[in-house]
Structure 1
Amino acid sequence: MKLKCLVRSRIDVKHPLQQSITTLQGVGEERASDLSLLGVRTISDLLQYFPYKHEDRRIRDLTEVGHEEKVTIEGQIHSEPAVRFYGRKKSRMTVRVLVDNRYLVTCILFNRHFAKKQFTIGKTAFFTGKLDKHRMQLTVQDYSFQPKRQPDAEQDAGGIVPVYTVGEHVSTKFLHKLIEQALQKYQDHIVEILPNALIQKYKLMERRNAIKAIHLPQDMDEFKLAKRRMIYEEFFLFQLKMHALRRTKREQIEGVAHQIDTEQIQHFLSSLPYKLTNAQQNALQDITKDMTSTSAMNRLLQGDVGSGKTAVAAIALYASNTAGCQGAIMVPTEILAEQHYQSMQSFFKDTSVQIALLTGSSKAKERREILAGLQMGLIDIVIGTHALIQDTVVFSKLGLVVIDEQHRFGVEQRRKLRQKGTSPDVLFMTATPIPRTLAITAFGDMDVSVIDELPAGRKRIETYWVKPDMFDRALDFIRKELAAGRQAYFICPLIEESEKLDVQNAIDVHAQLTQALPQFKVALLHGRLHSDEKETVMREFSQNEAQLLVSTTVVEVGVNVPNATLMIVQDADRFGLSQLHQLRGRVGRGEHQSYCILIADPKSEIGMERMRIMKETSDGFELAQQDLELRGPGDFFGTKQSGLPEFVFGDMIHDYRILEIARDDAAKLVQSDAFWQEQIYPQLLEYLVHEGVLDSETLD
């Protein structure tokens, strides 16, 4: 019987947790409609509608509470509440409470004057809010006349209280009661999803107990154990899905099984003017192993600025050539394409490899010759821009595709280049160092190789942080470097003046520097220039026709101007660490000592910390990790829409060890034939079907 059909037959059986929410007491059609807006339609949905945080409302001794700290107090009403009205329907009620017969705390409640009669002298009440310890004044967020949990021998009143996202017509109180009711009736129907061997190995709480403890924790220790279990489950299921997708879909695609001539590769390596670093050798080993496999390669090669990714790509292209295949390199700009073309010509000058450059600027005759050469197999490697994905470009036998700065191309553009061959191997390259924690999550469907070692002999870029009032000194340094025949970049965060942000802008700075440095040509580059204008400006700068380039962050990653030795960044505290490191990497590419000057007057702790880290750290991966910790995974790529999964319990930064363990466990399980053939973990297979992973007919 087909695996997919067999699994579906199990899912189609009506499970108690799949019943409608209306089976619970107090939920009619109207309530069900309100709950459906929260995504809660079944008992299972309700039990997995987890709180977004927990508040510790255990009663504490006020001597242990800090100023402005959130706290829950228990006390007796000491005096009649006083109410003062202001504006329409706005009020402030003051209630004085005696705590432990020692402290008189003034509780402030806004817009709750209707409850005045509830606060009678001598009555016990529980208040939660932020305490101004200097005035002994509590701004009340919540109050009750009952503890949140009935106190027992081991637990203080107040307890650990879950906080849920609720809708306009669904109150927290109603949701709490509904979840308690569902747990009483259905907790025993919650099925374990993790393999028992993993539960025993890591001493994890059972799923049914963990779900109850997340909603109704008895104490903080129980909650921590439950959360640990749910973090592992989240990470494990996500990684299981990624590895299953790789096995059932990507690895079923037959790629080009390159018959690489290892002797020729060794001869080529020995002809290079330098020895590969250990990191380069490891990355090359990963790539050639993929290339000789029958499955199509889908690998990301990430390396710091100047780490030698291009050399590794060149060797991989040569390996493909020895197997009788063609190679293609696609880059985002013509300037970068020309630089790659020159690099490849240098790499292959002593070989018979035929290289061509194809861009939008290629002359008609030259273009016709290149297209004919590719189709007849006379050209071995072509370097180009988007021009490579046009319909007129036809290859004889495309074996390897290299896409540089892959994030600059859309999914459709990458797909079109792949379709130029019969499932060619694809190598993506990026100079943005991505922390391992983020890479194994964001690129779960890719293999990742890292070059985290710089070639010997590279000079460290000296980095300085100066405040805006030292601009004249920075200007003197620019003048000195340019007079010595060097070139410099000056980066600004905005193009034009902004009323919202008090920052220097590129247009004003260009005018200012043109006037201050009349003996040098100062060029201007920003995002509103037409692509042809950008190309012209960058070409002038790369050929030293312009000595100083004032630019926004559109300065191309990968642009190589060895004569540029100075990078100045205005308002540097407004950039992330990874972005600052990328900008710094534009210099330090030649024989002369290079410098980076960060002009900033940071008023925030994060801004100060960034400047300190930039001065002390030159390792891109270490910077990327610290950037991730400062900004969070959602903002790491400069945008919230980075395609990263949103975990309910897990934090990719703080829980990275659990993430890596879960990834290894999931990979081991998916690679096991027993997992697929013997169906020893039916719940996991059901999960994969539900997620659409097993929709591929290649499994049947």
Structure 2
Amino acid sequence: MRPALLDPLFAPATSLEGVGPKVVAMLENIVPADLGTREARVGDLLFVLPNSVIDRRSRPGIAQAAEGQIVTLELTVDRHQPAPRGKRSVPYRVYAFDETGEIALTFFHANGPWLEKIMPVGAEIVVSGRMEWFNGRPSMVHPDHIASAEEADSLPLIEPVYPLTAGLSPKTLRRAIGQALGRLPEMPEWQDAEILRRQTFPAFDLALKRIHNPTDPIDASPQNAAWRRLAYDEFLAGQVALALVRARTRRLSGRALQGDGALEAKIRAALPYSLTRSQEQALAEIHADLTKPERMLRLLQGDVGSGKTVVALLAMARAAEAGGQAALMAPTEILARQHLATIAPLAEQAGLKTAILTGREKGRDRETVLSGLADGSIHFVVGTHALFQEHVAFHDLVLAIIDEQHRFGVHQRLAMTAKGDAPDMLVMTATPIPRTLVLTAFGDMDVSRLTEKPAGRRPITTVTLPFERLNQLIGRIHTAIAEGQKIYWICPLVEESEEIELTSAEDRAATLRNEFGDAVGLIHGRMAGRDKDAAMLAFKNGETRILVGTTVIEVGIDVPDATIIVIEHAERFGLAQLHQLRGRVGRGDRASTCVLLYKAPLGEVARRRLEVMRQTEDGFVIAEEDLKLRGEGELLGTRQSGAPSFLVARIEEHADMLETARDDARLLLARDPELTSPRGEAVRTLLYLFGRDDAVRLLRAG
């Protein structure tokens, strides 16, 4: 049950004065919480934090006020100059002065009687706003604040600036947030006293009040103790939730998978190469986990082309030796079919049967697979999320492998877990994730890393090229095709859109066909699965030599003799995505090239991205750089991708506190696994506050 203390914050935002359905719809655009299927609540507004402040402490006098500066002026009203009758476009001006000069306060479509009431001639007033100079004369258009000299103390000198959305005025938002703060109950302290002392954290409610009502610009900075306090609260909530998921998954205790290594040996013998040192190391760690009675929960991180699928297959062989089944789940059908192409022939050498299950298997084919999984005659199954639909039953699923984990959240991990009698779980990703993000997204997992490329892989040369030199590139591609090479050509859009002038995949394919005829193929996300497969197959078999596509080809597609990849409008892509795309080439024994086509002039961030791509092929270095350039929200693909996106924490500012939060969460749960102590009860409140209440339900489920 949610603590009654939190009820005022869980009331709908429409219960606030001045917040009707129309305003709430606008508020929902800026609330950082993932509202999904629910309406905005009062508590959501507390976490709409300012992105900057306006400092109104500067009082230079009229003559010294610089153009564009925000100033506060103490004035005497001299005269009013209303707009001439019938001329609505002429502004209403109020002239006022101080000892340094005169200023025109300018109002468009003004309400004259109201202005005369708040600024009577001869009155002493205080105004605050942005200075403008017209023809050498000072002016302030629509001052932000106007008050009589007696009320001057009521002016906010430091004013928070919030993210806004069309139609929502800063005043309405500020008033709603002020009301939400007024409903904030006194919270129990969930933080450890020693951490509070060491970090000089204020109490939770004081931290929120300081950020929303700053008395100095530093109060609203993410580096300030108040903001760091809230970030640490959020990290702790996340780490406690992950630790509870882990404890629950471990408690559904697994079983020791012992094998004699015979099937694994047969698969190894069928491999045309030997494993790298880090592949052997990762396998040793996986085998050690599998032999323990507790469930395995391991993340296998390997850069593009580092050979994760083979490690997965050898782990699956161990599951088969122990008499069980293994499932490998991929985020897309293309990738699932590719895994099947790698795994099935090798598994066959060891007498093991592999099947595929995606949304496309229908009728008799589907029934055959389902009955083979149920009776145990199918040892390995590869598929998409269709694998954990309700009617898919396994004979004895002991190992679940999830590829490209960031496309699946914790909930899907739990759904997959429910399929077997608590199967061991191996999660793979080719997105190199910096250590800080491993902690936030996968704090509940052990991590193995594949750090080397398989033997024989050549480095990829990366070059940047402005669009003006496109003709040179076309000439170079003519030569490459004559030498028997294959080329990927990536475009950011599927079809031309009027707003953004980018060459779409369809248009680019058409212009390249004028040059290269039928050698050009096309693949994009809006094509039917069957057509995508046909386009891929034609490219693989050499019927087409240039494959124009969108980022559909980003993950896992394997054509060893593709040696050139052209990425158009490279400045539009994030670093992680550029790195993923580049990994589509360099998979054979020939030298490969990645051409980053860009449109000048480049912004600072885009320039830095392209520079990083030229300098390194190390995915982990790239991921750390990406984190610096973009922040955590976008790092693992899109914001909606199950990647951690925080309400108040900013990974790039607050990462130093993550490990402390993880250790704190583990220690807390080791001492108080049911969260029943006074601090445990307070932490339950924290979990509800940051939307981690799923974890509280896990506690109840035992």
TM-score by length of 1: 0.78
Paired residue for 1:526, among 524, 527, 538?
A: 524
Pair 1:647–1:92, CA change in 2 (3 A): farther
Number of equivalenced pairs: 670
Shift of 1:561: 0.7
> Counterpart in 1 of 2:243?
243
Match of 1:26 in 2: none
CA contact (8 A) 2:340 2:356 kept: no
> Partners of 1:66 and 1:608 in 2: how far apart?
37
Distance 1:644 1:268, change over 3 A: closer
> In the alignment, what sits opposite 2:551?
553
Q: Distance in 2 between matches of 1:401 and 1:46?
A: 37
Deviation at 1:614, TM superposition (A): 2.8
How far, CA to CA, are the matches of 2:637 and 2:396 in structure 1? 38
Alignment correspondent of 1:196: 193
1:214 lines up with 2:211 in the alignment? yes
Native 8 Å contact 1:466 1:598 kept in 2: yes
Using the TM superposition, name which of 140-149 and 293-302 deviates more: 140-149
Structure 2 counterpart of 1:541, which letter?
Answer: F
Conserved? CA contact 2:406–2:643, under 8 Å? no
1:25 — aligned with what?
none
Q: Separation in 2 of the partners of 1:636 and 1:673?
A: 34
Q: Report the Cα distance in structure 2 between the residues aligned to 1:95 and 1:501, rounded to whole angstroms.
A: 44
DSSP-derived class of the 2:651 partner = coil
Does residue 682 of structure 2 align to residue 671 of structure 1? no
* Distance in 1 of aligned mates of 2:43 and 2:282: 44
* One-letter amino acid of the counterpart of residue 227, structure 1: W
Once the two structures are overlaid, the 10-residue window that deviates more, 227-236 or 631-640, is: 631-640
The 3 A distance-change label for structure 1 pair 528 and 140 is: same
Change (3 A) 1:82 1:274: farther
Q: What RMSD, in angstroms, separates the aligned Cα atoms of the two structures?
A: 5.0
| 1:461 corresponding residue in structure 2 | 460
CA contact (8 A) 1:78 1:97 kept: yes
Alpha carbons of structure 1 residues 32 and 622: separation in structure 2 relative to 1, 3 Å = same
Superposition map of 1:295-306 within 5 A? 295-306=294-305
| 1:507 aligned residue | 506
Deviations 1:591-625 (A, max 9, x none): 11101112221445144443333333423334344
What per-residue deviation string (whole Å, max 9, x for no partner) do you get for residues 227-274 of structure 1? 232222232223323323432x33332334323558997998899744
Indicate the residue corresponding to 2:429 in structure 1: 430
Q: For residue 568 of structure 2, what is the amino acid of its counterpart? A: Q
**Residues 37-90 of structure 1: CA distance to partner in whole angstroms, max 9, x if unpaired?**
68999x995995765456243423669x99776523233247535454899977
CA distance in 1, matches of 2:639, 2:545: 37
Aligned residue for 1:554, secondary structure, equals: helix
**Which string of whole-angstrom CA distances, capped at 9 and with x for unpartnered residues, describes residues 448-469 of structure 1?**
5544554566432112222222
Change (3 A) 1:137 1:412: same
SS in 2 for 1:582: helix
CA contact (8 A) 1:602 1:608 kept: no
- One-letter code aligned to 1:242: L
Matched-pair contact (CA < 8 Å) for 2:299–2:447 = yes
**What is the match of residue 598 of structure 1?**
596
3-state secondary structure, aligned to 2:470: helix
Contact 2:481 2:545 in 1 (8 A): yes
The equivalent residue for 1:695 is 697
1:589 to 570, 584, 587: 587
- Match of residue 227 from structure 2: 227
CA contact (8 A) 1:77 1:95 kept: no
Structure 2 residue matching 1:558: 3-state secondary structure: coil
Q: Deviations over 1:427-473 (max 9, x none)?
A: 23232334444443345666555445545664321122222221111
User: What is the aligned-residue identity percentage?
Assistant: 33
- 1:372-387 aligned at under 5 Å gives the runs 377=376, 380-384=379-383
Using the TM superposition, give the Cα deviation of residue 562 of structure 1 relative to its aligned residue in structure 2, in angstroms: 0.8
Q: Distance in 2 between matches of 1:21 and 1:586?
A: 48
**Higher mean C-alpha displacement, 611-620 vs 139-148:** 139-148
Cα deviation digits, residues 362-413 of structure 1 (max 9, x gap): 9999999877776665654344567866889764432112233456679998
1:549-573: CA deviation from partner (whole Å, max 9, x where unpaired):
1222222521111100011122333
1:54-453 matches, cutoff 5 A: 55-60=53-58, 71-77=70-76, 79-84=78-83, 92-94=91-93, 101-102=99-100, 107-114=105-112, 115-117=114-116, 118-119=118-119, 120=121, 123-129=124-130, 137-140=139-142, 142-145=144-147, 159-162=157-160, 189-220=186-217, 224-247=224-247, 249-259=248-258, 273-278=273-278, 280=279, 283-284=282-283, 287-331=286-330, 336-337=335-336, 339-344=338-343, 352=350, 354-358=352-356, 377=376, 380-384=379-383, 395-406=394-405, 421-443=420-442, 449-453=448-452
Instruction: Name the structure 1 match of 2:565.
Output: 567
Distance 1:257 1:145 in 2: 75
Q: Quote how far apart the aligned CAs of 1:534 are.
A: 1.5
Structure 1, unaligned stretches of length 5 or more? 23-28
Counterpart contact for 1:328–1:381, Cα < 8 Å: yes
Task: Tell me the amino acid that sits aligned with residue 569 of structure 1.
Answer: I
Q: Letter of the aligned partner of 1:129 in structure 2? A: R
Q: Where does the alignment leave 5 or more consecutive residues of structure 2 unmatched?
A: 32-38
How far 1:588 sits from its partner (Å)? 0.7
Check whether the contact 2:344–2:353 (CA below 8 A) recurs between aligned residues.
yes
Partner of 1:479: 478
Moved more, 312-321 or 123-132: 123-132
